[in-house]
Amino acid sequence: MNGTFIINGNSRNFTFPSDATLLQVLRENGYSEVKEGCNQGECGACLILLDDELVNSCQVLAGSAIGHKITTIKGIGDIHNPHIIQDAFVESGAVQCGFCTPGMVMATYYLLQKNPMPDDNEIKLALSGNLCRCTGYVKIIQAVKLAAERIRNEG
Amino acid sequence: MKDKFDTIGKSIRKIDSLGLATGEEKFTDDFDFPGKQNLLHLAILYSPHPFAIIEKIDTTDAEKMDGVVDILHYGNTSRVLYTSAGQGYPEPSPYDMVLFDKKVRFVGDRVAMVAAETPHVARAALEKIYVEYRQLEPLFDMEKALNPDAPKIHNDDEYMPIPSVYDISKNLAAEVRINFGDLEKGFSDADFIIENTYSVQYANHCVNEPHSAIAYFDERGRLIIISATQVPFHARRITSKLVGLPIGKIRVIKPRIGGGFGAKQEVLLEPLVALVAIRNKRPARLVLSREEVFVSSRTRHPMRVKLKTGVKNDGTIVALDMDALMNAGAYGSHALTVLANAGSKVLPLFNKIENINFVGRTVYTNLPVGGAYRGYGATQGYAALNQQIDIIARKLGIDVLEYIKKWRIGEGETSPVFEALGEGKEGVKQFINSCKLDECIDRGAKAIGWYEKRDKRIRNGDKVRGVGVAVAMQGSGIPRVDMASAYIKMNEDGSFNLHIGATDIGTGSDTILAQIAGEVLTVPVDKFIVRSSDTDLTPFDVGAYASSTTYVSGNAVRICAQKIATQIISVAQKLLDCDEENLILDNGMVRNIETDESITFERIGYYAFYEQDQFQIQAGASYYGTESPPPFIAQFAEVEVDTRTGQVKVIKFVSAVDCGKAMNPKLAEGQVEGATLNGISYALWEDYKFDDRGRMLNSNYSDYKIFSAADLPDMETIIVESYEETGPFGAKSVAEIGINGPIPAIANAIYDAVQVRLFHSPFTPEKVLEKIQNKK
Ligand code: FES
Ligand code: FES
């Protein structure tokens, strides 16, 4: 199969087998910031935005995403110009091994777009599809709150 | 003791965290490397049987498939006995496995491996390998392993590389015995005896990044291995032996790794990718699937502990008899040392007991393989001891917190167990230099509301609340075994390269070690260019295990930085033309304390590089610990038990930890929080389910549930600082200890709520309900 995707604002064309998942196609084409933790839709390491929806890219056939807009963690900020959320994760000590972080950041990004002032329970629920074995989630939740506050103050 | 620090004790941002949060940092499978377009993809064929001999293996059809390049199995690989345990040399674990064996010993044991042009072909080829098995009677029940008529799982040529009990005619992978005083007399002096049997279950580390490794050749034909490992130097050594390439021809690089917790203290994939690369002169990559991680990597060793204590009415424990039986699974990785730690990290905590007997045995079964797992035996031992202490205190009618404070080990004290029981050899006598356990207990009790809640059985409909406590200690590295080293050089602008063998597995050790060097050299962390865990570029370190990095590697860095400081001062002395004694490092400069004259490191750097008696300011240092100062923890659980369903919910969990001086409080808290939640998840949910043929039934996250953010109780972590004189700037370890308390604290809280004792984790609704109903 062959198709064009709009990834982080750039149009990219790839050839791939028809049964390839979006995760596979992304990782094989240099988007290694999207992680694979289970390939079963259960860990959230592979979360991306597909158009404006948060999806586990391991559960999406690449073919079905042709022509669509894909946002990975690199699409929301980079090392020179990090997004408030990325910065908040760093500052809160929410990044240990960091393997879950891309997925966590995407889930947070999605949450804060829908709900700029989430309470603890809303945050926990929004992150419930993202497994993290390192942090015990405590500092991740703090990071989300910090990011929400900073985004509100900016806006 | 220094009480004012510039860098130590500050929650500096972890140096790799922004790169991780923006997806720039690379994990093993994220790398581009020479020849990647020529990569061989690997797939492994696993045994479907728990115990069998491979009579015949026919790969003809698979070989004929388009894209299949190589197939490895016992018939075409050499039989080199080894252990996958990534420990120092010689490893204190039995040499009981080979890369591909004629015998398979658990469902998930390696049978063959295909190397192919695509992952798809590699997997498809597995179906075309025909294996004829002669099934043998399997052994699943560890309690039966020592019976004379039990099936024998291992062969005669397997052996223990160190002097230690190892008897494959009994399926005995390890045995440890210690004995002090007169047990019989102790029991006869007792006013009452408490005897119980406890057990903890299989569990998986659930590292977020599955095990992964890549091997390729560099432009000079050396083999490069990129691996998600906690032990790059041990991985290099063990791989060298297995693939027949000298150590000097192999380079192991540990990039960012997605969680370790002991799972990656195993040399599992490196020899496999290396062997394929060598055989085919092509790069090879292997990344395990989640199912493979569950079934065929490593696990928490299940353990059954019989604990018998003789107690006097004044609370004195006059005799303690501990019998630990540990299930190694099919291979004995860490079989001796995890077992020994169930005694050595546990018994010294109550050091006033004069008559002690500890018998530990690790046995083989045809089940998944145990290995290193955060807590490493202490978790298993403390699950039993802390419940026993709770039972004793209740029987005596006194507050368990007061009981613990009265009988715990304290500063200036020792325990004969330290000396008797080491890791694979005798231990090391040591005295406790720092112990703030009482303060941990007091502050934790306050945070949980102990005195308002204990014994109150606060009820809300069917739900009853209770609180429980557990205490623990761990170690800081393995004394007289672990060695770490560091190398520092100064650049002419006053920045430094810090090269360490230490392995940051997400813990933040790259940052903390830079903080330690920065404290000595009076410069901030961003003055260090940190490179770690690359066997070509960094000096040796045993790796990230045994809670060793901050203490052992940290001491190496401290010593190394002090050497650099001396050199800087010697140059400054020439420039300032004064007595060296008057010179100190101060804020990235050298200052003369008499004249207050100072010069910058930059000035010193340029002078040393370009002006006179030119030399590189540089130093290396090693540290070899002779002590292993234990951190201490008190952990409190508040639970709510639903008496109708048996459901246990953790409402609040408090951990108060004495880790010496916390080098970076946020990172220290993060270690405790992560370990604690892993422990809670283990206490309540996690377990391996097997069918009657030893096949794991729940090898995915929907059937093997771990805690998510939605399940998180109210967690509070309190750092109770002490100052450990032997540690770098007062530090002890912190990474493992938090996982020891949840099982017993929750069990004790369940008792407080509903007066039933759960001796066997996980505390599932079925078990709890059954206990509640039996009580009625
Ligand atoms: S990799 Fe997609 S959810 Fe785990
Ligand atoms: S930081 Fe390691 S899994 Fe979340």
| Nearest CA-CA distance, residue A20 and chain B, Å | 11
Subunit contact B16:A98, Cβ cutoff 8 A: yes
**Domains in chain A, number:** 2
CB-CB: which of B17, B290, B675 is closest to A98?
Answer: B17
Confidence of residue A154 (pLDDT cuts 50, 70, 90): confident
Mutation target for A interface from B214, B294, B708, B719: give the one with most A CBs within 10 A: B708
The two structure tokens encoding residue A134: 């390192």
Q: How far is B337 from B385, CA to CA, in rounded Å?
A: 19
Does an H or E element contain B388, and which?
helix B378-396
Confidence of residue B2 (pLDDT cuts 50, 70, 90): low
Q: Are residues A104 and A62 in the same domain?
A: no
Q: Does B677 touch chain A (CB under 8 A)?
A: yes
Q: Are B497 and B489 in contact (CB under 8 A)?
A: yes
Q: How far is B344 from B200, CA to CA, in rounded Å?
A: 18
Work out which ligand 1 atom sits closest to the CA atom of A23: 2
- Pure H helices in B106-157: 119-126
Q: Which residues contact B153 (CB under 8 A, 6 or more apart)?
A: B51, B105, B139, B168, B171, B330, B364, B365, B366
| Nearest CA-CA distance, residue B44 and chain A, Å | 17
pLDDT score at B427:
87
pLDDT score at B588:
96
| Nearest CA-CA distance, residue B678 and chain A, Å | 7
Q: Does B289 touch chain A (CB under 8 A)?
A: yes
CATH number where A129 lies: 1.10.150.120
Cα of A124 from ligand 2 centre, angstroms: 16
From B25, B208, B712, give the residue whose CB has the most ligand 2 atoms within 8 Å, as the site to mutate.
Answer: B208
For residue range B86-100, what is the model confidence (pLDDT) as tens digits? 999 999 999 999 999
Subunit contact B24:A78, Cβ cutoff 8 A: yes
Assess whether the C-beta atom of A104 lies below 6 angstroms from ligand 2: no
Q: Are residues A16 and A45 in the same domain?
A: yes
Q: Does B37 touch chain A (CB under 8 A)?
A: no
For residue range B138-186, what is the model confidence (pLDDT) as tens digits? 999 999 999 999 999 998 899 999 999 999 999 999 999 999 999 999 9
Ligand with minimal distance to A42 CA: 1
Assess whether the C-beta atom of A24 lies below 6 angstroms from ligand 1: no
Which one of A52, A75, A98 terminates a domain? A75
Nearest CA in chain B to A74: B22
pLDDT score at B1:
54
From A35, A56, A61, A101, give the residue whose CB has the most ligand 1 atoms within 8 Å, as the site to mutate.
Answer: A56
- pLDDT exceeds cutoff 60 at B287: yes
Q: Could you write out the three-class secondary structure of B266-284? A: ECCCHHHHHHHHHHHCCCE
| Nearest CA-CA distance, residue A155 and chain B, Å | 22
pLDDT score at B3:
65
Q: Are residues A11 and A55 in the same domain?
A: yes
Q: Which structural domain range is residue A49 located in? A: 2-75
Q: Are residues A59 and A93 in the same domain?
A: no
Does an H or E element contain B640, and which?
strand B632-642
- Taking the CB of residue B647, how many other CB atoms lie within 10 A of it? 17
Confidence of residue B34 (pLDDT cuts 50, 70, 90): confident
Cα of B537 from ligand 1 centre, angstroms: 34
**In chain B, domain spans:** 17-25+483-624, 31-136+211-287, 303-478+627-775
For residue range B46-90, what is the model confidence (pLDDT) as tens digits? 999 999 999 999 999 999 999 999 999 999 999 999 999 999 999
Q: Does A46 touch chain B (CB under 8 A)?
A: no
Domain B303-478+627-775 has CATH 3.30.365.10: yes
Rg (C-alpha) for chain A, rounded Å, is 15
For residue range B406-463, what is the model confidence (pLDDT) as tens digits? 999 999 999 999 999 887 778 899 999 999 999 999 999 999 999 999 999 999 999 9
For residue range B533-562, what is the model confidence (pLDDT) as tens digits? 999 999 999 999 988 899 999 999 999 999
Assess whether the C-beta atom of A96 lies below 6 angstroms from ligand 2: yes
- In this structure, the residue with its CA closest to atom 4 of ligand 2 is A132
For residue range A80-99, what is the model confidence (pLDDT) as tens digits? 999 999 999 999 999 999 99
Subunit contact B21:A90, Cβ cutoff 8 A: yes
Q: Are residues A59 and A91 in the same domain?
A: no
Q: Which residues contact A33 (CB under 8 A, 6 or more apart)?
A: A72, A73, A74, A102, B22, B23, B24
Assess whether the C-beta atom of B208 lies below 6 angstroms from ligand 2: yes
Assess whether the C-beta atom of A140 lies below 6 angstroms from ligand 2: no
For residue range B201-230, what is the model confidence (pLDDT) as tens digits? 999 999 999 999 999 999 999 999 999 999
Mutation target for A interface from B12, B208, B300, B507: give the one with most A CBs within 10 A: B208
Name beta bridge partners: B459.
Answer: B464
State what percent of residues in chain A have pLDDT above 90.
99
Q: How far is B513 from B499, CA to CA, in rounded Å?
A: 10
Cα of B30 from ligand 1 centre, angstroms: 16
Assess whether the C-beta atom of A75 lies below 6 angstroms from ligand 1: no
Assess whether the C-beta atom of A91 lies below 6 angstroms from ligand 1: no
Assess whether the C-beta atom of A142 lies below 6 angstroms from ligand 1: no
The two structure tokens encoding residue B628: 């292993």
Q: How far is B669 from B760, CA to CA, in rounded Å?
A: 29
Q: How far is A31 from A102, CA to CA, in rounded Å?
A: 12
- The complex's ipTM works out to 0.98
Subunit contact B666:A138, Cβ cutoff 8 A: no
Q: Are B107 and B695 in contact (CB under 8 A)?
A: yes
Q: Which residues contact B713 (CB under 8 A, 6 or more apart)?
A: B649, B650, B651, B652, B653, B680
Q: Does B196 touch chain A (CB under 8 A)?
A: no
- pLDDT exceeds cutoff 90 at B395: yes
Which one of A50, A75, A100 terminates a domain? A75
The CATH label, of 2.60.120.10, 3.20.20.140, 3.90.1170.50, 3.40.470.10, for the domain at B31-136+211-287 is 3.90.1170.50
Q: How far is B262 from B283, CA to CA, in rounded Å?
A: 27
Confidence of residue B594 (pLDDT cuts 50, 70, 90): very high
Q: Are residues A89 and A30 in the same domain?
A: no
For all residues of chain B together, what is the average pLDDT?
A: 97
Which one of A75, A96, A131 terminates a domain? A75
Q: How far is B239 from B254, CA to CA, in rounded Å?
A: 15
For residue range B470-503, what is the model confidence (pLDDT) as tens digits? 999 999 998 888 999 999 999 999 999 999 999 9
Q: Are B293 and B242 in contact (CB under 8 A)?
A: no
- pLDDT exceeds cutoff 90 at B376: yes
Peptide bond into B283 cis (omega under 30): no
The average pLDDT across B522-527 equals 98
Q: Are residues A136 and A71 in the same domain?
A: no
pLDDT score at B4:
83
Q: How far is B213 from B9, CA to CA, in rounded Å?
A: 35
Assess whether the C-beta atom of A43 lies below 6 angstroms from ligand 1: yes
- pLDDT exceeds cutoff 70 at A121: yes
| pTM for the model | 0.98
**Does this chain's domain B17-25+483-624 share its CATH topology with B303-478+627-775?**
yes
- pLDDT exceeds cutoff 70 at A155: no
Secondary structure (DSSP) of B486-527: EEEEE-TTS-EEEEE----SSS-HHHHHHHHHHHHHT--GGG
pLDDT score at B303:
98
The CATH label, of 3.30.43.10, 3.40.1160.10, 3.30.365.10, 3.40.50.80, for the domain at B17-25+483-624 is 3.30.365.10
- pLDDT exceeds cutoff 90 at A77: yes
Assess whether the C-beta atom of A152 lies below 6 angstroms from ligand 2: no
Q: How far is B191 from B209, CA to CA, in rounded Å?
A: 53
Angle between helices B665-684 and A138-154 (to 10 degrees): 120
Q: Does A12 touch chain B (CB under 8 A)?
A: no
